[in-house]
Amino acid sequence: MSERALEGLDEQQREAASVLRGPVCVLAGAGTGKTRVITRRIAHGVDTGAYSPGRVMAVTFTAKAAGEMRGRLRALGVEGVAARTFHATALAQLNFFWPQLANDTAPSIIDNKVRVLGQAADALRLRLDGATLRDVASRIEWRKVAMRTIEQDAAAHPEGLSQALDAHALAELQHRYEKLKDERRQLDFEDVLLACAGMLESEPRVAAAVHEQYRHLTVDEFQDVSPVQHRLLELWLGDRRDLCVVGDASQTIYSFAGADPHYLLEFADRYEDATVVRLERNYRSDPAILDVANALMRGRAGALELRSARRAGPVPVVTAYEDDGAEADGVAAAIAAQIAAGIEPDRIAVLYRANAQSAPLLAALASRGIAATVLGGKRFFDLPEVRQAVMALRGASVAPVETTFLAAVRDVLRSLGLTDDPPPAGGALRDAWEARAAVLRLAEEAPADMTLRRFTDELLARGRDQHEPSLRTVTLATLHAAKGLEWDHVHLVGLAEGLLPISYATGSEAIDEERRLTYVGITRAARTLSLSWSERSGARQRQRSRFLQEIGPGPIATGGRRPPAGRAAGPRRSGTGTPDAGDARATSAGRRPS
């Protein structure tokens, strides 16, 4: 049993999972199996008796990632580990200790910071539009995660804010916002971390209880830790040194939310006896794709040199288009060719920098009958069609069974509107059909002895863990939304100055963040990668992205230049001798967390 959790790990992964006492720093490149290492390390600690599950705290940044961690631990036979986000952990501690300290329930959490700011502005007779209020809300979030006072924040030049908000008015507005929350016994999202930290600092018995409960701490995505999160982590740790951090400085893409990669890069300086393990063997992407990623990041602080565990595949292609419409149409044509060659739509993604770029892509795909899903909308299990399906299946589970499990599921879903043939792409009916079809596929993949009751129990559990099934659609996503996911075939669009890097990214630090965003997009691809940009957006002329210049011509083949949509263009082949649509012979790995 002591070696069970280490089976199947490579040498570096095994080393990282075997060191059970901290401090430990795992520098894990994209696609190197960091979640696998984290969960195997915890399971190995439990198997050997070094850890008690209830004394392990594993924190990460999204509920989806925390759910994935819990699911993998359950599969390894480990139950009881506190695997949560920073905010969920802090909120749980506030809700537990606040009644003991104040003889009252913990404050509620406001659900709309902008609304409360608007009320504060009205009280001060400030006439501010919604955009300005949203900017102030973002500024408050930044101030709190950076652990700055209102006066420190207001002293900085309020760039981009309304002229009605000079430094004095900005400070007054923030003070009134905080006063309103106090009067209503409310906290905002960032207050949860600050309040938990304050409680641990000021109440020794609370700190002692937390230190007694949690002996072993693991932090995923450590490059994204903000100053307030790092302070809270120090308070959770106390005098102990059993801390394992995992991250990749090249994937720091949330600086706007306070992420500071220096905590990761300087971990070994802070803990001189730390064990540092580098994971650079990539199991996701073909070598040619990693050549592009490595070329982009070479020489950057903390960059890892990724090596592929896969055989060589087609060289990524970059294509220039005359305008945005031609780019959207060209990408849609390439995707249509991939699907016609047998590639499943859910193995394909189009990634871009800004949400506004999705509209022409959706229209171009719909015109070819290709259904697409934009990441960032409602979670799958929160979709009304899915909630309705789960409720209907739950109701059917209490009735006498007169048919097979799969037939019963199919009957229920058909009664809700699932047809054999999908509606046309590009509308709400198709979106609902895809959601119901995904529920049916889960039933089709279930064990032969599955029952309706067990199936609905599993659906509810998947919803809690955000373990969402793949829709059989092409995925459209911003680069931020794509982090942590992967697809066989990725089309990275908009590689032009003003889009990537984005126009408001000024200064070396902002450009470095845009470079890391590009790196994240490149490393989402497993089999094929196409890059594109347009020379004109409306009347505006664009230049190709400086990042393409940095990568250089070596790792990338040119796809030439395409005319505007609607203008005839002859067939052309990429520099690899394969169709521009990509290698249709590639196997499908699907989309899953890295």
342 is in an annotated binding site: no
Do both 292 and 341 map to the same domain?
A: yes
319-352 pLDDT, tens per residue?
Answer: 999 989 999 999 999 999 999 999 999 999 999 9
- Say yes or no to pLDDT of 536 above 60: yes
Residue 588: pLDDT band (50, 70, 90) is very low
363 is in an annotated binding site: no
In Å, what is the CA distance from 141 to each residue of 84, 85, 123?
Answer: 21, 17, 21
* Number of structural domains in the chain: 4
Domain shared by 24 and 141, yes or no: no
Q: Of 227, 245, 279, at which residue does a domain stop?
A: 279
- Note whether residue 293 is domain-resident: yes
Residue 563: per-residue pLDDT: 62
Is 585 a member of any domain?
A: no
Residues 270 and 333 in one domain: no
Residue 103 lies in a domain: no
Q: Name 146's bridge partners.
A: none
Specify the 3-state DSSP secondary structure of 22.
coil
Q: What is the pLDDT of residue 129?
A: 83
Instruction: Classify residue 544: in a domain, yes or no.
Output: yes
Q: Check whether 570 has a pLDDT greater than 50.
A: no
Average pLDDT of 291-306?
92
Q: Which of 34-43, 393-402, 403-412 has the highest mean pLDDT?
A: 34-43
Whether 35 has a binding-site annotation, put simply, is yes
What's the confidence (pLDDT) of residue 593? 42
pLDDT band at 382 (very low <50, low <70, confident <90, very high): confident
Residues 199 and 61 in one domain: yes
Q: How far is CA 499 from CA 287, 348, 472, 511, in A?
A: 27, 22, 29, 12
d(CA 546, CA 500) in angstroms, rounded, equals: 9
Evaluate the omega torsion of the peptide bond into residue 469 and state whether it is cis, within 30 degrees of 0. Answer: no
378 is in an annotated binding site: no
Q: What is the pLDDT of residue 425?
A: 75
**Is it the case that residue 162 has pLDDT exceeding 60?**
no
Binned at pLDDT 50, 70 and 90, residue 220 comes out as very high
Which pLDDT score is estimated for 135?
A: 86
Beta bridge partners of 32: none
Do 333 and 400 belong to one domain? no
Kindly report the average pLDDT of the chain as a whole number. 87
Share of the chain above pLDDT 90, in %: 55
pLDDT at 209 over 80: yes
DSSP state of 55: G
Is residue 245 domain-resident?
A: yes
What is the span of the domain harbouring residue 246? 4-91+195-279
Say if 408 falls within a structural domain: yes
Provide the pLDDT for residue 205: 94
Asked whether residue 8 is domain-assigned, the answer is yes
Task: State whether 242 and 272 are in the same domain.
Answer: yes
| Residue pair 424/398 in contact by the 8 Å Cβ criterion | no
Is 590 inside a domain boundary?
A: no
Report whether 45 contacts 244 (CB < 8 A): no
Same domain, yes or no, for 132 and 258? no
Evaluate whether 174 touches 191 at the Cβ level (below 8 Å).
no
Residue 569's pLDDT is 39
28 labeled part of a ligand binding site = yes
* pLDDT tens by residue, 103-153: 889 999 998 899 999 999 999 998 888 888 888 898 899 899 999 999 888
